[in-house]
Structure 1
Amino acid sequence: MSNFRGNHSSHAGPVVLGSAALALTACATSAAPAADDDRPLVLTTFTVIADMVRNVADDRVQVASITRPGADIHLYEPTPDDLVRGQDADLIIENGMGLEAWFRQFTERLDAPTARISDGIDPLPITSGDYEGEPNPHAWMSPDNALVYVDNIRDALTELDPEGRDAYAQAAADYRERIEEVGTYLDTRLADVPDTSRALVTCEGAFSYLARDADLTEMYLWPVNSEGEATPQQTAAVTEFVRDNEVPALFCESTVNDSTQRSVARESGARMGQTLYVDSLSDPDGPVPTYLDLIRHDAEAIVDGLTGTP
């Protein structure tokens, strides 16, 4: 088993074709909706959700993201153009769990109904920092939780467009299968990692749900990106943890500066793993133009870091 895609060769054809098609349309995720398109417009808060909606929508609705590829969802500020696009929305889909702190000032000026796709997920609390005790909003990073997202998207689209019920149900079922493959891959490939080294050490604490599902201890430099850089105390604690547990690899996310984590790696003897992606997809020609690309990339990077083989 050399890598994730190789482990699922029986699905290689459909998965590759689906990813290619999504990559071709990903550039439209944050683009303004077409004026001559009479399909309902679904507006999402960020690119990850937009892509998930596209996979369930079966091309029956237009989908656009308020934020664009590469944007930090935590600190986003809506623009006048966003408000203009929002006026035409038939449905707005948000993550919830306090992720989109800016979202209320956006929706209070709009008349479209809003669906929260994290509903039904048992939230894990943020365990330190200014947001201690509040729900960790990064539930989509867990393949198990992503299945709840898919079901909620299916239900929201069905309510918006009842005639598409069967199409949404079939597309959601197909999408669930591809997401489940990622969870199975993680469980299988991480099974032999020693208990003392079963740790996921990142810059932001965005992997609580994935770490729980994969039976990994989570350690991070700061709880959420909006809190800024790690304190000397946090950096020292992470360095000590990595050294004491002989954690082989450390990670950082694409939207933050990894210099502190690289310092931890030098001090502890661990190596830096591949960059992880969380809050945003890339442009169509980038490494993670779709949500499935994102979680597959992160799964392979984590397996590679902790086992030495993707």
Structure 2
Amino acid sequence: MKKSLFGLLLLSLPAFALAAKLPVVASFSIVGDMARQIGGDRVDVVSLVGPDQDAHVFQPSPADVKKLSASRLFVTNGLGLEGWMGRLTKASSFKGVLVEAGKGIKTRMAPAEEGEEHGHEMVDPHAWHDPQRVQVYIRNITDGLIKADPQGKAEYTRRAAEFAAKVKQQDDWAAKEFAAIPAARRKMLTSHDAFGYFGERYGIKLLAIQGVSTEAEASAKGVAQLVRQVRQEKVNAVFMENMTDKRLLEQLTREAKVKIGGELYADALSKPSGPASDYLKLFHYNVETILKSIR
């Protein structure tokens, strides 16, 4: 009798509850959260580069190699963000589904980092700061999840649609708020050039101490030039980022006699107790922080 009751209980459970969750590795916390939002209870997502950490300078450890070798789906940003990815996938002998979340988006080009030999432009990888481009991320991640776990197609499709609607809602709100601010006030300076797509989407002029990679070091000459530009253009919105060295920005604000308007979340989520613990919170927090300084 007990055995038959147990069997009935098993039959009453959803199929995915009886199976192990899909092991997913994400390159960094932002795309990791997107995979989690779409995958729901069917997935177990681990981010190699965690909250408040910098994907530009990350160096994989043997433990990371082990995580990837055990996963069935690897979600990356692509667009040149993860320079370490090729070495990691080779070392882990990864045989699962590889998703480049940014594949197919319309990219923007950024000036080459200081000290590069050829001086050519490079692709800006920070496309997640434009919610319209995030819709491409959502489609790519959803397709990868379905390929790795075909039985979850209906669930992934439903959750992706819900997440996409929430992203659009945030975009509509931000576009309305920024459109109400005169173009002359829509200027901001950050510690590295991570908000180019954001500025393009909402008509904000951006200045940055570092280039699109935090590996690039700003020169004294470059900082001096920025001080002059901040003064000339009367930039009031100056921001630190959660995963970069704040000393250069503090020096610049002293010399330009402007105040730091707050901390933005550029390349990483906050810790769970912070204000940007998932993508939607990150975006909303960044918009509100910027609006307070440029209004």
TM range (shorter): 0.7 to 0.9
Supply the distance in 2 between the matched residues of 1:194 and 1:269 (Cα, whole angstroms).
23
Supply the distance in 2 between the matched residues of 1:132 and 1:126 (Cα, whole angstroms).
9
Q: RMSD of the alignment, in Å?
A: 1.7
- Residue in 2 that maps onto 1:104: 86
Supply the distance in 2 between the matched residues of 1:247 and 1:186 (Cα, whole angstroms).
20
* Worse overlay, 81-90 or 185-194: 185-194
Which of 207, 214, 226 is residue 215 of structure 2 equivalent to? 226
Q: CA deviation at 1:124?
A: 0.9
The residue type paired with residue 226 of structure 1 is E
Supply the distance in 1 between the matched residues of 2:120 and 2:170 (Cα, whole angstroms).
30
5 Å matches for 1:171-186? 171-186=159-174
Supply the distance in 1 between the matched residues of 2:28 and 2:180 (Cα, whole angstroms).
36
Supply the distance in 2 between the matched residues of 1:105 and 1:266 (Cα, whole angstroms).
41
Q: CA deviation at 1:37?
A: 7.0
Decide which structure has greater strand share.
2
5 Å matches for 1:29-40? 38-40=20-22
Higher relative contact order (CA 8 A, sep 6+): 1
Supply the distance in 2 between the matched residues of 1:186 and 1:231 (Cα, whole angstroms).
34
* Worse overlay, 128-137 or 248-257: 128-137
TM-score by length of 2: 0.87
Q: CA deviation at 1:300?
A: 0.8
Gaps in structure 2 of 5+ consecutive residues:
1-17
The residue type paired with residue 160 of structure 1 is A
User: Conserved in 1, the CA contact under 8 Å of 2:98 and 2:144?
Assistant: no
- Residue in 2 that maps onto 1:24: none
- Residue in 2 that maps onto 1:42: 24
**CA offsets 1:21-71 (integer angstroms, 9 cap, x no match):** xxxxxxxxxxxxxxx972221111011111110100131122111222222
Which of 188, 195, 200 is residue 207 of structure 1 equivalent to? 195
- Residue in 1 that maps onto 2:77: 95
Q: Which has the larger radius of gyration?
A: 2
- Is residue 2:103 matched to residue 1:119? yes
- Residue in 1 that maps onto 2:183: 195
The residue type paired with residue 279 of structure 2 is Y
The residue type paired with residue 238 of structure 2 is L
TM-score by length of 1: 0.83
- Residue in 1 that maps onto 2:255: 267
Gaps in structure 1 of 5+ consecutive residues:
1-35
The residue type paired with residue 58 of structure 1 is G
Supply the distance in 2 between the matched residues of 1:170 and 1:37 (Cα, whole angstroms).
20
SS in 2 for 1:66: strand
User: Conserved in 1, the CA contact under 8 Å of 2:96 and 2:148?
Assistant: no
Q: 1:163 to 1:172 in 2, by over 3 A?
A: same
